[in-house]
A and B are shown apart, each in its own frame.
Chain A
Amino acid sequence: MRLSILSGQVGGVGSKIDYDRRPMPKQEPFERVRNFDEVALGYTVDLAREEASRCLACKKPACTAGCPVGIDIPAFINCISEGDFAAGIRKLKETNALPAVCGRVCPQEEQCEKTCVLGKKGDPVAIGRLERFLADWEAAQGPIEPPPLPASNGMRVAVVGSGPAGITVAADLALLGYSVTMFEALHEAGGVLTYGIPEFRLPKAIVSREVDYVKSLGVELRLDYVVGKTRTIDALLTSFDAVFVAAGAGLPWFLEIPGENLNGVYSANEYLTRCNLMNGFLFPAYDTPLKRASRVAVFGGGNVAMDSARTALRLGADEVHIVYRRSREELPARAEESENAEEEGVIFDFLTLPVRLIGDERGWLCEIECRRMELGEPDASGRRRPIEIPGSELRLRMDASVCAIGNSPNPLIPMTTPGLDVGKKGNIVVDEATGRTSRERLWAGGDVVTGAATVISAMGAGRTAAHSIHETLSGRHGGAER
């Protein structure tokens, strides 16, 4: 059957539809828990072409409709099956500035792959893996040539934050001739891609390659620059024609149960930042340590919880538990991530709610008191509501815990920008169609608007805002206002 696919007859008369997705080569679990290298190794050329050949090239592609940035998916997949990878990556980059990142961390099963026609009877085309393949192929060809840049239009845009939303806006506007400065509060660019997502899921070399690409477009990057403190938004507005705020989801949430200020109790942001941004896993070669713990509990069931649990294993923990109050079906993490975690030996305590953290006499976490839950009727989120079972208390012996239940948007800019409308959760309020805030010449997007969400939705918001900024400034440029 594979031969017929390779000969390019899929979809042709008499050919069979191939419902089986090509598996992704991965590091073996026993091996990968001992290193921080990337787990998924990527398709080979042969695997990529085979997988690409499964695409039915639908006339009205449902996959493209499922993509937040509207990538022309059948077109780039067709390039792969024909072996023209250079054309494929060009096609991809028309709409997506960060294919190497999105190919790895987008929840494709909820987006493009969810609507793939093949998915009705078999496996949808592995769109994400193919996207990654093209990006990695391009990187392997050597330094990436920046596209020809238009002449400067003389207008300046400030981008606050160098995560996925910021990078998208910076790249889009640079390609339109704007002079863009991107401000980053930390000492490395990339936002959550750098401090949050671990090396084994998204290698830092890929993030820095993307950042270098944006810089090659003429974008100026200012590190260690905390907008809201080093300069306020109002100060930036005096020297820039427009400002786009993508400061990310800042403040970590805690469970608000007793004992959360004990030592050994981390927010996922702290745990992952110590490991990823500060290279705590390389202590003492790097100066920032990350305490070795033998038994670690991670609270939450999303991707960040999986990242934290798998990081704990790699740091040498003997036993790592995901403590989640609902059941396997409700896990918000991508199936791929929870499967990876399980393969690596993470123990899942479903229907379990932490109610109290107990410390030793020195103020270090030693035990976690939990209660068992059962699922009741669906709640506002559509998921069945977990209900505590009375008298079901149990204790888990743990010497570290990581709280991965979400974040509120970073407060520094709302705190220091008068007249900026902010929602109940501290999120910056924008007009969804344009990304405009309540302040003139000020746009926002990404997690600072939505609360913690996906990389691709942040990029989608960036794309929208870049479009609106361009529309506004180019109109103004030619008009009487300026």
Chain B
Amino acid sequence: MVEVVERRMIVPNLHLLTVQAPEVAESARPGNFVILRPGEGGERIPLTLADWDADAGTVTSVFVQVGASTAKLARLKPGGQIPSYAGPLGRETEIERFGTVLLIGGCYGIGSIYPIAADLTAAGNRVFVLIEARSSYLLYWEDRLRTVSERVTVITRDGSRGYKGHVTRLAEILTLEGIRPDRIIVYGCTYQMMEVSRQTRPLGIKTIVSMNPIMIDGTGMCGVCRLTVAGERKFACVDGPEFDGHEVDWEEFLARRESYGPEEVQPLHRSGCASRF
């Protein structure tokens, strides 16, 4: 049982959720997630961490409201209770001095990359950030991200801010911006992570993606989050969620994510686009 400190819609359909969970806050690392149940009888849904404060004992995530469970979350008010909140789960992001790192975020992932950018910068990397949204009014945390990176570049699909289009323009944008990343890390919808991986493969840039399958327990017990990476079966909850995007079997992953689409379960809380993915 944790108490909600803050829950507000930061841009249409995207909500910020901060809870009082001191032990999670103390152990949290970039790239971790939590599993929560929005109410009694609710599903267990994973949310990536966007921020935490060990002194205040608070943990923050950004989530998309898509289905029944996230709708419950979106109705929470400060002082409200979340019956289950377990974490931090998953392996943390590898933080080393890689050289130049580009962090790409979309949707909830714009929040998730913030702590990663902060740690990578602190570790002595040149950190660049690229964030994407359908339109400028769906962007958030641009200023925060600027404090932990050299530059924040924006793509909007309608061209209302920054580059017009989608990450399909990644190779071109890298040239125009003069960014030569040694590593790219992507947090966003499946389509975005898959597309970035497709783009960077011929460029030979190591690309890390944070996979967001359906999960139940999040501790390796049920196996629903399995995916194929480099021909091997992996469990996103304990082996990931970060994997090498060039090694993920994307087609299979997309089919598995869709499996409960009709029931609107696990209602794509961590997913980015208005589309199914």
Binding site for B on A (CB under 8 A): 185-187, 195, 223-226, 229-231, 248, 250-252, 254, 260-264, 266-267, 269-270, 273-274, 278-279, 283, 285-289, 291, 362-364, 410-412, 415
B219 & A226 in contact (Cβ 8 Å cutoff): yes
Q: Do the beta carbons of B87 and A226 come within 8 Å of each other?
A: yes
| A226 and B86 form a contact (CB under 8 A) | yes
> Looking across the interface, which residue of chain A has its beta carbon closest to that of B265?
A289
Known contacts A230-B23, A251-B220, A278-B216; is-contact A362 B263 (Cβ 8 Å)? no
Distance between Cα atoms of A273 and B220 in the complex (Å):
12
Question: A252-B222, A263-B259 given as contacts; is B252 within 8 A of A287 (CB)?
Answer: no
Tell me if B256 counts as interface (CB < 8 A to partner A): yes
User: With a CB–CB cut-off of 8 A, which chain A residues contact B188?
Assistant: none
Q: Given known contacts A224-B85, A231-B23, A287-B69, is B228 in contact with A273 (CB within 8 Å)?
A: no
In this complex, what residue of B is CB-closest to A287?
Answer: B43
Known interface pairs A230-B88, A261-B233, A363-B255. Does A251 touch B41 (Cβ–Cβ under 8 Å)? no
From B24, B84, B256, give the contact of A230 (CB < 8 A).
B24
Best-surrounded residue of A195, A226, A269, A279 (most CB of chain B within 10 A): A226
User: Is B217 in contact with chain A by the CB < 8 A criterion?
Assistant: yes
Distance, CA A186 to CA B221, complexed state (A): 11
14 residue pairs from A and B, CB less than 8 Å apart: A185-B219, A187-B83, A187-B84, A224-B84, A229-B87, A230-B88, A248-B221, A251-B220, A261-B256, A263-B256, A278-B44, A287-B69, A362-B255, A363-B252
Tell me, rounded to whole Å, the shortest Cβ–Cβ distance linking B72 to chain A: 8
B-chain residues with CB within 8 Å of residue A264 when the two chains form the complex: 259
Q: Tell me how far the C-beta of A439 lies from the nearest C-beta in chain B, rounded to whole angstroms.
A: 20
Chain A: CB-nearest residue to B89:
A229
B27 interfacial contact with A, CB 8 Å: yes
Q: A195, A254, A269, A286: which contacts B41 (Cβ < 8 A)?
A: A286
Q: Smallest distance from the beta carbon of B161 to chain A beta carbons, Å?
A: 36
B27, B216, B258: residue with the most chain A Cβ atoms closer than 10 Å? B216
Contact partner, B219, options A250, A261, A266, Cβ 8 Å: A250
Q: Which residues of chain A have C-beta atoms less than 8 A from B84's C-beta?
A: 187, 223-224
B134 on interface, CB distance cutoff 8 Å = no
**Chain A residues positioned under 8 Å from B258 (CB to CB):** 263, 363
Bound complex: CA of A229 vs CA of B85, how far in Å? 13
Determine if A185 and B217 form an interchain contact, defined as CB atoms under 8 angstroms apart: yes
Query: In the complex the two chains form, what is the Cα distance from A350 to B85 in whole Å?
Result: 44
Most chain B CB inside 10 Å of its own CB: which residue of A230, A252, A263, A364: A230
Residue contact A273 to B216, C-beta cutoff 8 Å = yes
Q: Which residues from chain B contact A364 at a C-beta distance below 8 Å?
A: 259
Q: How far is the CA of A363 from the CA of B219 in the complex (A)?
A: 26
Inter-chain CA distance A291–B261, complex, in Å, is 11
A250 and B233 CA atoms in complex are apart in Å by: 15
Contacts of B89 in A (CB 8 A): 226, 229
Q: Is the CB of B41 within 8 A of A410?
A: no
- A271 CB → nearest B CB, Å: 9
Task: Decide: A287 and B265 in contact? CB cutoff 8 A.
Answer: yes
Known interface pairs A224-B84, A225-B86, A287-B42; A263-B222 also in contact (CB < 8 Å): no
Q: In chain B between 30 and 75, which residues have their CB closer than 8 angstroms to a CB of chain A?
A: 37, 41-44, 68-69
Minimum C-beta distance from A478 to chain B (A) = 33
Report chain B residues within 8 Å CB of A415.
238
Q: Which of A229, A261, A264, A283 has the most CB of B within 10 A?
A: A229
Contact A261 B23 (CB under 8 A): no
- In angstroms, Cα B41 to Cα A279, docked, is 8
A314 shortest CB reach to chain B, Å: 19
B227 to chain A, nearest CB (A): 7
**Which B-chain residue is minimally distant from A247 (CB atoms)?**
B219
Given contacts A410-B220, A412-B220, contact A230 B238 (CB under 8 A): no
- Which of the residues A223, A254, A261, A273 comes within 8 Å of B217, measured between beta carbons? A273
A329 to chain B, nearest CB (A): 30
Rounded to whole Å, the gap between the CB of B213 and the closest CB of chain A is 11
Q: Does B235 contact A (CB under 8 A)?
A: yes
Q: Which of B216, B235, B263 contacts A251 (CB 8 A)?
A: B235
**Does B159 lie at the interface of the complex (its beta carbon under 8 Å from any beta carbon of A)?**
no
| A269-B42 in contact given A187-B37, A254-B233, A261-B233 (Cβ < 8 Å) | no
Cα distance A231–B235 when bound, in Å? 21
With both beta carbons as reference points, the residue of chain B lying nearest to A192 in the complex is identified as: B221
Q: Does B138 contact A (CB under 8 A)?
A: no
Q: Which residues of B contact A230 (CB under 8 A)?
A: 23-24, 27, 86-88
Say yes or no: A231 contacts B86, CB within 8 Å. Answer: no
User: Which 3 residue pairs spanning A and B have beta carbons closest together?
Assistant: A363-B255, A224-B86, A187-B84
Judged by a CB distance under 8 angstroms, whether B223 is at the interface is yes
**What's the Cα separation between A273 and B221 when bound, in Å?**
9
B223, A261: Cβ atoms under 8 Å?
no
Asked whether B126 is an interface residue with its Cβ less than 8 Å from the other chain, the reply is no
Within 8 Å CB of B85, what residues of A?
Answer: 224
Please give, as numbers and ranges, the residues of chain B lying within 8 Å of A285 by CB-CB distance: 41
The contact of B220 among A231, A250, A263, A289, by CB within 8 Å, is A250
B226 at the A interface (CB under 8 A): yes
Asked if A270 meets B224 with Cβ closer than 8 Å, knowing A287-B265, A362-B255, the reply is yes
Given A226-B86, A261-B228, is A287 in contact with B41 using a C-beta cutoff of 8 Å? yes
Mark each residue of chain B from 64 to 103: 1 if its CB lies under 8 Å from any CB of chain A, else 0: 0000110000000000000111111100000000000000
Contacts of A229 in B (CB 8 A): 27, 87-89, 219
Whether A254 contacts B223 by the Cβ 8 Å rule is yes
B68: chain A residues within 8 A (beta carbon): 287
- Tell me, yes or no, whether B141 is within 8 Å of chain A by CB: no
B260 at the binding interface (Cβ < 8 Å): yes
Closest B residue to A187 by CB, please name it: B84
Closest CB-CB distance, B230 to chain A, in whole Å? Answer: 14
CB closest chain-B residue, reference A232: B27
Chain A residues with Cβ under 8 A from B217's Cβ?
Answer: 185-186, 195, 273
CB pair A412 B43 closer than 8 Å = no
- Which of chain B's residues have a CB closer than 8 A to the CB of A248? 221
Query: Which residue from chain B places its CB closest to the CB of A289 in the assembled complex?
Result: B263
CB-defined contacts of B219 to chain A, threshold 8 Å:
185, 226, 229, 250, 410, 412
With A279-B41, A287-B42, A288-B43 in contact, do A261 and B252 touch (Cβ < 8 Å)? yes
Query: Given contacts A187-B86, A226-B87, could you give 15 more A-B pairs where the C-beta distance is less than 8 Å?
Result: A185-B86, A186-B86, A226-B218, A229-B27, A229-B87, A231-B27, A261-B233, A261-B249, A261-B252, A267-B222, A269-B223, A288-B216, A291-B260, A363-B255, A412-B220
